[in-house]
Amino acid sequence: MYPIETNPRIWGYGPGASNALADTAAWVCLKNAKGCWIYITEIGNNATDLVLTVHQGTTGSGTTALSATFPIYTNLLTTTADTWTRQTDAATYTIVHTAVAKQVNFYIDAAILTAGYDWIQLGSADGHATNIVYVEYQLVGIRYAQAAPPTAVA
């Protein structure tokens, strides 16, 4: 079996204007997973940074920010390099507007969510109307493995 069959990538947002991402990304449920990768790509270098956070909820709604820190990986020179850099674990990350094509990955371990919370959503502030952002999620360590994993979308 290929990884995409057991750990499907799930659409989160876009492509769309980075200033419109705000709190409109899709929610995913980690109840049946060990964790989740969040993949963010932003294209454009217009004059506003994009501030990223992760929300948690008991259902697929709300704006409660995750306060625990998590691993963050970046490639801020995607047009010329394929090198990923591990950033300091944090609960938020700011994509600076100076590079043209940027990728940021978060790993959210289900164990860091507040008790009773098993839904997450990428949230943001700022961004620019002419910068384009795209978000995907990928569940990791699916519990109760089966040929067709249970749905994880709200």
Q: How many domains does the chain have?
A: 1
Residue in this structure with the two tokens 């499907």, named with its chain if needed: 8
123 belongs to a structural domain: yes
Sequence-distant (6+) residues with CB within 8 A of 151 are: none
Beta bridge mates, 43:
101, 132
145 belongs to a structural domain: no
Sequence-distant (6+) residues with CB within 8 A of 32 are: 139, 142, 143, 144, 149, 150, 152
Examine the pLDDT at 149 and tell me if it is beyond 90: no
Look at 63 and 86; give whichever has higher pLDDT.
86
Examine the pLDDT at 147 and tell me if it is beyond 80: no
34 belongs to a structural domain: yes
Examine the pLDDT at 85 and tell me if it is beyond 90: yes
91 belongs to a structural domain: yes
61 belongs to a structural domain: yes
59 belongs to a structural domain: yes
Q: Which CA distances in Å does 82 have to 5, 31, 77, 103, 136?
A: 25, 33, 8, 10, 19
> Which pLDDT score is estimated for 67?
95
Least confident segment among 76-80, 130-134, 140-144: 140-144
Confidence band for 15, pLDDT divided at 50, 70 and 90: very high
146 belongs to a structural domain: no
> Which pLDDT score is estimated for 143?
67
149 belongs to a structural domain: no
Enclosing domain of residue 122: 3-140
**Mind listing the pLDDT tens digit for each residue in 20-77?**
999 999 999 999 899 999 999 999 989 899 999 999 999 999 889 999 999 999 998 8
